[in-house]
Structure 1
């Protein structure tokens, strides 16, 4: 990755990477009630998660967030890879937003107060897609330059 590309991506990668790293580290030692609460919330939108116990679910969630945070913060991880991870995570949380009762106003996409923390994840989708698009454009530009020489 060139310096110009890295400079352009850092304002997206650093704050989001730090956010994911902090979130994952915070969940790492979650006690049983916290794990059960997170697991129960996720199971409301994604019933297949009921097959997992709460503690292993939160450990996996924690590990995924730590890994995603590290991928964003380490510039050698391609933007397309980091962006795909962010986009996938964001789509998962947006699924929660669309499926969990009480986080949206009745008959609307507008969030309730309880839904605001999930509604903001649409920005993460934008960041993830921007990183993937930036990487794609950069690779195409590089190929064009290499084929033209």
Structure 2
């Protein structure tokens, strides 16, 4: 088994992976109140999610976070795969941020007090894109 994690990408992968894995594990056994709140926020941004029951949505989100965090932490997962998972995950969070006016100051991309927690996820997008760029540059060198 060959290790795919490069030392230069390890800090971003470990910090981000541990954080996402932790949040996924916390959501895995979330109660009805948490499921309803998280589901409501997501369904406001993505109306098709209204058809998904809140507990099922929270469990699916938890599993996706656990899988993404694990992919980032596992040294055998290539940077391109880890970067794609992180970019997709963080991109969906930022799409929710942009689709939810209450998370932003009126007429601005900058966060309102209620949007700060989600707006900070832009750092995950940067790390994901960095992993993808690193993988692409490695392929060009070979």
TM-score by length of 2: 0.95
CA apart distance, 1:113: 1.3
1:121 matched to which residue of 2?
121
2:19 matched to which residue of 1?
19
Q: CA deviation digits over 1:63-84, x for unaligned, max 9?
A: 0000000000001101111111
CA apart distance, 1:51: 1.3
CA apart distance, 1:101: 2.7
2:41 matched to which residue of 1?
41
1:54 matched to which residue of 2?
54
Taking the TM superposition and a 5 Å limit, the aligned residue runs for 1:45-124 are 45-124=45-124
1:7 matched to which residue of 2?
7
- Secondary structure at 1:75's aligned position in 2? coil
- Secondary structure at 2:61's aligned position in 1? helix
2:132 matched to which residue of 1?
132
Taking the TM superposition and a 5 Å limit, the aligned residue runs for 1:135-146 are 135-142=135-142
Gaps in structure 1 of 5+ consecutive residues: 143-149
Compare CA radii of gyration and give the structure with the larger one: 1
Q: CA deviation digits over 1:82-104, x for unaligned, max 9?
A: 11111111111111111113111
| Structure 1 CA distance for aligned equivalents of residues 56 and 3 of structure 2 | 39
Aligned length: 141
Which aligned runs of 4 or more in structure 1 are off by greater than 3 angstroms? none
TM-score by length of 1: 0.90
CA apart distance, 1:2: 7.0
CA RMSD of aligned residues (A): 1.4
- Please say if residues 24 and 65 of structure 2, whose CA atoms lie closer than 8 Å, have aligned partners that are also in contact: yes
| Structure 1 CA distance for aligned equivalents of residues 101 and 138 of structure 2 | 41
Gaps in structure 2 of 5+ consecutive residues: none
